[in-house]
Amino acid sequence: MEWWKDALVYQIYPRSFQDSNGDGIGDIPGITSRLDHLQELGVGAIWLSPVYPSPNDDNGYDISDYKDIAPEYGTLEDMDRLILEARRRGIRILMDLVVNHTSTRHEWFEKSRRRIAPYTDYYHWAPAGPDGSKPNNWTGFFGEDCWQWDDVREEYFLHLFARTQADLNYRCPQVLDEVEQVLRFWLDRGVAGFRCDVINLLWKDSLADGKERLALTGMEHYLSLEGTHDILRRFRKVLDRYKAFTVGEAVFVTPDMARDLCGPERGELDMVFSFEHMECDQYLIKWLKRDLRPKKFFKCLIKWQEELPWNAIYLENHDQPRSIPRFGSEGYWRESGKLLATLLLTLRGTPFLYQGQEIGMVDFDFDGLDQIDDVESRNVDRVLKGLHVPEALRWRIIARTSRDNARTPMQWDDGPNAGFTTGRPWLGVNRNFHFVNLADQENDPDSIWNWYKDLSALRREREALRRGDFLWLECTDRVFVYRRRLGEESLTIALDLSDRPARVGSRGKLLRSNYRRDGFDGRLAPWEAVILEDEAT
């Protein structure tokens, strides 16, 4: 029953996880060869970022065939084997469902642009205005405008993301049928469910002009609308037959919107990824970063803990910079890495761990834009260049926020290319792999890796950590103290997110600390995290 409330989910970015054939690109046999690592960590499910055929303009989020595996990642047989081998280790597989858009190389698009039935209206097509102007004033997510002219059809098509990611038109009933077939295709092969990409954008109510905004003009025409809820309830009917699980990536959601997407009575999603806690270190948009204000961060976490019965908990994914430089401190790399692990594994909800986080991987150490692959980063650089922003500043902006920070290859050991590939890696390996790698940390009882393993086991042992209530006790500009309680079982977690010692009011039997100490007297060292067993009152 609701296995996903007890599971730790591990996200794999296949391109960067493990290469098995020396072409420099991670692949499915590579993942299968590393399943023991995940089993040791106590992982209950893997979310696989897309492995379908794709021109890779957005690394697989531009899909050209939903029912196959990209040749560089392997074959359907490799996928079947991964599902089987994972199952043998008690690990479920979640596929990435990217159905807001397809690649413009998808057969549906190729036919739609030629007005071949029934594909004619699979996408949002619109003619140019009298002066050749775009159909509306909307702006896109990737720093470019969201209408692309198609010479074949002689109309514009809508793309909220990259120019080669055309938005599907859910007003056309066949589109929904197609997606339901995709769901069944993978569920029949034994996957346990889906992570649903930008799922709250599916339904566009009209293509009318939007309100001008700094970021994303037009979003009132597609953000979490009733049409999307209807689609999700349709999907649910298919999913229920397989008892399948879904987590939706929901951009710009408020707690109210999130509840409507995943409240248990809604019959839509099981949980969502919300973004508000990832916005505590920015001015207005993600490219304008500022120092983290811990109190704002804690308050945001508290708000989402209190307002949603259950949610996905995460600090990293393939779109975000690494968490230690961002929410922790590189000066206290080990301590803050363990503190963030503690936060992730003791909040109420399903924790999602991103590959490399379990060994404290940090942002890339690239020197310039030519080492960056990400389409979003490149677009944003182009836009900034157009605004005459000098190169050094452009690089600072991109380096701090680029999605490639999270996409550098997994650091397995201190051999060539960190054990990721015997060939030339598709994206640079961080040079710190000589001292940040799994093999070393396996041999070090005090490592971040062993801390994750230990806490993951503690979470499996202590039902209060999984199913217990959440109650916050202290929240200051650096200290966060909260309690998880279920029946008689009550645990208190106290965190100091600063380079200075702190005092908290809680006492109790010390279960864990990321410092060596015997008992707890209310004093926290810099970046200390403690878990206390509350004495019965």
- Please, which residue, 251 or 465, has the CB nearer to ligand TEU? 251
With CB cut-offs between 5 and 8 Å by kind, which of Ca ion, ligand TEU, none does residue 110 bind?
Answer: none
> CB 23 → Ca ion: shortest distance, Å?
4
Q: Can residue 63 be called a binding residue for ligand TEU (CB under 6 A)?
A: no
Q: Can residue 406 be called a binding residue for ligand TEU (CB under 6 A)?
A: no
With CB cut-offs between 5 and 8 Å by kind, which of ligand TEU, Ca ion, none does residue 27 bind?
Answer: Ca ion
Q: Can residue 381 be called a binding residue for ligand TEU (CB under 6 A)?
A: no
Rg (CA), the chain: 23
- Please, which residue, 178 or 319, has the CB nearer to ligand TEU? 319
With CB cut-offs between 5 and 8 Å by kind, which of Ca ion, ligand TEU, none does residue 451 bind?
Answer: none
Q: Can residue 197 be called a binding residue for ligand TEU (CB under 6 A)?
A: yes
Q: Can residue 23 be called a binding residue for Ca ion (CB under 5 A)?
A: yes
With CB cut-offs between 5 and 8 Å by kind, which of ligand TEU, Ca ion, none does residue 23 bind?
Answer: Ca ion
Handedness of CA 442, 445, 446, 448 (dihedral sign): positive
Q: Can residue 27 be called a binding residue for Ca ion (CB under 5 A)?
A: yes
CA distance linking residue 378 with residue 57, whole number of Å: 11
CA distance linking residue 138 with residue 160, whole number of Å: 9
Q: How far apart are the first and last CA of the chain?
A: 32
> CB 62 → ligand TEU: shortest distance, Å?
7
Q: Can residue 480 be called a binding residue for ligand TEU (CB under 6 A)?
A: no
Backbone angles phi, psi at 425, to 5 degrees: -65, 145
| Active-site option among 62, 96, 178, 249 | 249
Q: Of 89-108, which residues contact ligand TEU (CB under 6 A)?
A: 98
- Please, which residue, 389 or 486, has the CB nearer to ligand TEU? 389
CA distance linking residue 203 with residue 215, whole number of Å: 19
Cβ(376)–Cβ(143) under 8 Å?
yes
Please identify which residue in 79, 198, 258, 269 interacts with ligand TEU, judged by CB under 6 A: 198
Q: Can residue 13 be called a binding residue for ligand TEU (CB under 6 A)?
A: no
> CB 166 → ligand TEU: shortest distance, Å?
12
| Listed residue (310, 317, 315, 314) closest to 348, CA to CA | 310
Please identify which residue in 161, 186, 332, 480 interacts with ligand TEU, judged by CB under 6 A: 161
| Active-site option among 96, 155, 197, 496 | 197
Q: Can residue 75 be called a binding residue for Ca ion (CB under 5 A)?
A: no
Q: Can residue 65 be called a binding residue for Ca ion (CB under 5 A)?
A: no
Backbone angles phi, psi at 174, to 5 degrees: -60, -30
- Please, which residue, 197 or 404, has the CB nearer to ligand TEU? 197
Handedness of CA 245, 354, 188, 98 (dihedral sign): positive
Cβ(69)–Cβ(78) under 8 Å?
yes
| Listed residue (1, 5, 91) closest to 309, CA to CA | 5
Taking residues 126 to 145 in sequence order and writing x for each that binds ligand TEU by CB under 6 A, - otherwise, the string is ---------------x----
Q: Specify whether 197 is catalytic.
A: yes
Q: In this structure, are strands 45-48 and 469-475 parallel, antiparallel, or unpaired?
A: unpaired
- Please, which residue, 124 or 318, has the CB nearer to ligand TEU? 318
DSSP annotation of 429 reads: P
Q: Per-residue DSSP letters for 490-510?
A: EEEEEEE-SSS-EE-S---EE
With CB cut-offs between 5 and 8 Å by kind, which of ligand TEU, Ca ion, none does residue 260 bind?
Answer: none
Q: Can residue 278 be called a binding residue for ligand TEU (CB under 6 A)?
A: no
- Please, which residue, 249 or 534, has the CB nearer to ligand TEU? 249
Q: Specify whether 249 is catalytic.
A: yes
> Using CB atoms within 10 A of its CB, is residue 201 exposed (0-12), middle (13-18) or buried (19+)?
buried
Tokens describing residue 311: 């949610």
Largest CA-CA distance found in the chain, in angstroms, rounded: 77
With CB cut-offs between 5 and 8 Å by kind, which of ligand TEU, Ca ion, none does residue 178 bind?
Answer: none
Q: Can residue 273 be called a binding residue for ligand TEU (CB under 6 A)?
A: no
C-alpha to C-alpha distances, 537 to 470, 490, 491, 532, nearest whole angstrom = 18, 10, 13, 14
For helices 375-386 and 391-401, the axis angle rounded to 10 degrees is: 150
| Listed residue (69, 163, 152, 77) closest to 116, CA to CA | 152
With CB cut-offs between 5 and 8 Å by kind, which of Ca ion, ligand TEU, none does residue 163 bind?
Answer: none
Interface region with Ca ion, contact rule CB under 5 A, candidates 27-35, 112-120, 275-283, 392-400: 27-35
Q: Is 452 helix (H, G, I), strand (E, B) or coil?
A: helix
Size of the site for ligand TEU (CB under 6 A): 12
Which distant-in-sequence residues (6+ apart) come within 8 Å of 151 by Cβ? none
> CB 21 → Ca ion: shortest distance, Å?
5
Which secondary structure element, helix H or strand E, spans residue 306, and what is its range? Answer: helix 294-307
Q: Can residue 19 be called a binding residue for Ca ion (CB under 5 A)?
A: yes
With CB cut-offs between 5 and 8 Å by kind, which of ligand TEU, Ca ion, none does residue 58 bind?
Answer: ligand TEU
Q: Can residue 85 be called a binding residue for Ca ion (CB under 5 A)?
A: no
| Listed residue (158, 136, 160) closest to 147, CA to CA | 158
Q: Which residues pair with 95 in a beta bridge?
A: 48, 194
Q: Can residue 251 be called a binding residue for ligand TEU (CB under 6 A)?
A: yes
Query: Which residue in the block uniquely carries the two structure tokens 């690494």?
Result: 322
Tokens describing residue 111: 């036919």
Q: Of 36-55, which residues contact ligand TEU (CB under 6 A)?
A: none
> CB 197 → ligand TEU: shortest distance, Å?
5
Q: Of 434-473, which residues contact Ca ion (CB under 5 A)?
A: none
CA distance linking residue 16 with residue 425, whole number of Å: 8
Q: Can residue 25 be called a binding residue for Ca ion (CB under 5 A)?
A: yes
The count of residues in the chain is 537
Binding site for ligand TEU (CB under 6 A): 58, 61, 98, 141, 161, 197-198, 249, 251, 318-319, 376
By annotation, the residues acting in catalysis are 197, 249
**Which residues here bind Ca ion, judged by CB under 5 A?**
19, 21, 23, 25, 27
